Structure 1
Amino acid sequence: MSRARGGASGSRASLAQPQSRAVASRESVRIVRMVFLLRNPRLGVQMLCDCALDSAPSEEVLMSLRASLLASALLAGLLPASAQESRPAVPSERADEPYLKNVRQLTFGDERAGEAYFSPDGKRILFQAKRPGQAYYQIYLVSADGKGRRMVSTGKGKTTCAFFHPTDPNLFIYASSHLDARTHKAPPPRETRRYKWDYDDSFDIFLADLRTGEIKKQLTTTSGYDAECSFSPDGKTICFTTRREGKPDAIYLMNADGSDQRPLVAKEGVDCGGPFFSPDGKWVIYRASAKGSRVMHSYMTSVDGKQTITLTRTPRINWAPFFHPSGNYAAYGATAKGSYSDFDIFLVKTDGSFEEVALTVDTGFDGLPAFSPDGKTIAWSSGRGGNPQVFLADFVMPPASAFKPGPKAAPKSPHGAGSGHGGSGGHGGSSGHGGSGHG
């Protein structure tokens, strides 16, 4: 913002203004100082330097202050969701991210937002977000154009990982701790910029009504962590992550009504999670790592448990895989630059060739990717605008020449049978929601 000038000298005398305006301007500057220095220190300092307190600002500066104050109120969550929805998207398209076009920000004003998944018709999105003043994440529904946002979870306790029913547009599943009154209390204050994950033994999986938020049925009741759930394409089966009886995280399957809960990927010393079905329903994709390891990989296992394909082999955190609708590719997040605060999204072939291409290169967190059912749009959580928010982009499939194989050394399969195709017998798993959710 350029300094306002009045006359040749730009002095207080040449900028004579009514006293009421001077008072109003000082109050505006006071509020801007308070909000901006809390929410955006660098921008706040720039604003205060550009609008010196020893001179009455011009109308141009006042208008800029009012606009900035509105933006601050949106960031602070002081205005209702309807006001936030009208806020223009942050320009975020980059020339060095050629496979993401028309990048736009979907959520605003959240301390953190992510885990965004499309409805079967691609017109709506479920996601989790923590609003200012909220103790924990809650589940929200919003149109793909960003309009009509509303909470669909109970508003009590912790929630995570919501997923649409594939055949009934009025139903969805998600994990919640609302039955445990101990989780209704606000946690101790802590840093909010990083998108944290929370394993809580009070999480269970519920079927709920999208229209009213009413819980229709509790699907899991076992003591321990049950979350990270998603439906098979026909809606008959649910895959989910569970931690039971002190054992490592495992991938389980169950019928849509909660019956016949059985392990798909479960092995001592291996953590796993973040499962999703393939578009044809024949595979489940997930993350896996040896317990205590700082390396994590993405795998896919056939629903009968007889075959496993290792998808990644670069020695880093490779997590939150999600199938492209073609089934031939999967997007996932990874610590691409050797920093646990810098994640990028990659697209990898699902044939076990380890060939992949980077979709994002922005500094900071980019993760939790999910495709629309037609594959034309990708949603993900990004910190490119500050705190992690949900972003959307038109997805451009990279050419075959863009895919390059990873390093030669492949990771050991969580099934104990090597990498790539094969991996018979036993079950494997994976760990860590390092910086986020259903990964």
Structure 2
Amino acid sequence: MIGNAKMKDDPVHQVYTFNIDGTNILRINDKGEDACSFYFPDGKHLLYTSTKDNLEMPKGNYSDPKNYPQGAELYACDLDGSNVKRLTDNKVYDAEVSVSPDGKWILFSRQIDGKLDLWKMKPDGSEQQQITFTPEWQEGGSFFIDSETIICRAWDIKDEAQRGMPMSIFTMNADGSNRKRITNDSGTNWAPHPAPDRDHFVFVKVLPQHNYEIFLMSLKTGEQTRLTYNDAFDGFPVISPDGNLLSFDSNRDAKNGDRKLSPYMMDISSLHLGVKK
């Protein structure tokens, strides 16, 4: 697994890899502040966001949309963090990365002049191209297993200060065409991630009392299934490539007032979300 963490002795968040049982923890980078990471489908390389080469710029805040780090760039490396290659070189926010299952495209969010859109590029950083051009902010994009369909969340920056702000999930073609709204309620629908079966995806829905829970939804039927039942925060869901496991972050075991998030695993093999032959 790969994720972003602030360990006991870390001054800022860094990218780490670890086994699914929590062993073999390895820090990938130790310079600047990291965010948003992903495995390349070849299983031999990693992709991550970092401010490591723009330390002279204002630090910003990855959690504040109005103050995203403008020095955040994208990097690829080997599994142990070696052979680092910088993929973007600009003074804007590049983050929220993923890779198409066929390995041909990197998908990411880029903020320019106060607007946040989806972009894609080749794994070597070439052929960078913008694929959304709307007033809404598009973030957290991922490819379905066909490498042709993208799912993401979108929202209006004017709603940013609203508690439980409206946020919708959309799909589109890999070139940004054929954009479809998938969730149609006025609540917060956040952090979508596709299942290997080409139909379902997991996402986070904010319920009353600001309760973040994880749901499963079908593109074909629109049916939603709740997967977590806890008053604590449950978020950042990701389905394993075989469709059998769900990883997510939660503070369900944290002490009162403690903002600590920890990774959790759920067996979802009974949902049959694997690749359909």
Say whether the fold is shared (TM-score over 0.5): yes
Determine which structure has the larger strand proportion and give its number: 2
Aligned to 1:164: 39
Q: Judge conservation of contact 2:250–2:261 (CA < 8 Å) in 1.
A: yes
Matches within 5 A, 1:104-115: none
Aligned-CA RMSD value: 2.2
1:355-407 CA-partner distances (Å, limit 9, x unpaired): 211111200210110011111100001111112111011115559xxxxxxxx
Q: Which has the higher contact order (CA 8 A, sep 6+)?
A: 1
Q: Which amino acid aligns with 1:296?
A: M
Provide the residue aligned with 1:388 in structure 2: 261
Structure 2 residue aligned with 1:323 = 194
Kept in 2: contact 1:311–1:348 (CA 8 A): no
Distance of 1:306 and 1:156 partners within structure 2: 38
Could you report, residue by residue, the CA deviation over 1:9-61 in whole angstroms, capped at 9, with x for unpaired residues?
A: xxxxxxxxxxxxxxxxxxxxxxxxxxxxxxxxxxxxxxxxxxxxxxxxxxxxx
Which residue in 2 is equivalent to 1:210?
79
Q: Which of 151, 176, 184 matches 1:305? A: 176
Alignment of 1:105-144 (within 5 A): 125-144=1-20
Q: For 2:28 and 2:64, how far apart are their aligned partners in 1?
A: 20
Counterpart in 2 of 1:174? Answer: 48
Provide the C-alpha distance between the structure 2 equivalents of 1:230 and 1:179, rounded to a whole number of angstroms: 21
Q: Give the partner amino acid of 2:131.
A: L
In structure 1, what is the equivalent of residue 92 of structure 2? Answer: 224
Gaps of 5+ in 2: 160-164, 255-259, 273-277
Q: CA deviation at 1:306?
A: 2.4
Q: What amino acid is the match of 2:196?
A: P
Q: List aligned pairs for 1:24-173, cutoff 5 A.
A: 125-153=1-29, 155-167=30-42, 169-173=43-47
1:269-293 CA-to-partner distances (Å, cap 9, x unmatched) read 2111101111110111110012212
Aligned to 1:278: 144
Provide the C-alpha distance between the structure 2 equivalents of 1:316 and 1:288, rounded to a whole number of angstroms. Answer: 12
Question: 1:132 deviation in Å?
Answer: 2.1
Q: How does 1:226-375 map to 2 (within 5 A)?
A: 226-244=94-112, 246-267=113-134, 269-293=135-159, 294-339=165-210, 342-351=211-220, 353-375=221-243
Q: CA offset at residue 311 of structure 1? A: 1.7
1:296-324 deviation line (CA, Å, top 9, x unaligned):
01111111322122221222111110001
User: Identity across aligned pairs (percent)?
Assistant: 27
Structure 1 residues 189-227: Cα deviation after superposition (integer angstroms, max 9, x where no partner): xxxxxx94672111000011112x125311111221001
Distance 1:302 1:338, change over 3 A: farther
Contact preservation (8 Å) 2:55, 2:71: no
Counterpart of 1:349 in structure 2: which amino acid? S
Give the Cα separation in 1 of the matches to 2:140 and 2:96. 6
Q: Which residue pairs with 2:275 in the alignment? A: none
Pairwise mapping of residues 185-200 of structure 1 onto structure 2 (< 5 A)? 196=63, 199-200=68-69
The answer on whether the counterparts of 2:47 and 2:74 sit within 8 Å (CA) in structure 1 is: yes
The normalised TM-score by structure 1 is 0.56
What code does the residue aligned with 2:189 have? N
Q: How far apart are the structure 1 equivalents of 2:236 and 2:195?
A: 13
Q: 2:58·2:69 contact (CA, 8 Å) conserved in 1?
A: no
Deviations 1:67-119 (A, max 9, x none): xxxxxxxxxxxxxxxxxxxxxxxxxxxxxxxxxxxxxxxxxxxxxxxxxxxxx
CA distance in 2, matches of 1:285, 1:197: 22
CA 1:173/1:261 → structure 2, altered by over 3 Å: closer, same or farther? same
Distance 2:223 2:271 in 1: 12
Partner of 2:162: none
Question: Does the C-alpha gap of structure 1 residues 184 and 290 become closer, same or farther in structure 2, counting only changes over 3 Å?
Answer: closer
Change over 3 Å in CA distance of 1:197–1:382 after alignment to 2:
farther
Q: State how far apart, in whole Å, the 2-side matches of 1:355 and 1:175 are.
A: 34
Given residue 122 of structure 2, which amino acid in structure 1 is its aligned partner? N
**Kept after mapping to 2: 8 A contact 1:313/1:354:** no
Does the residue aligned with 1:242 lie in a helix, a strand or coil? strand
Unaligned runs of 5+ in 1: 1-124, 189-194, 400-439
Residues 171, 209 of structure 1: 8 Å contact kept: yes
Q: How far apart are residue 183 of structure 1 and its match?
A: 7.0
- Aligned-partner residue type, residue 336 of structure 1: L
Report the structure number with the largest CA radius of gyration: 1
Number of aligned residue pairs: give it.
Answer: 260
**Structure 2 vs 1, CA of residues 171 and 375 (structure 1 numbering), >3 Å: closer, same or farther?**
same
Q: Contact 1:158–1:183 at 8 Å: present in 2 too?
A: no
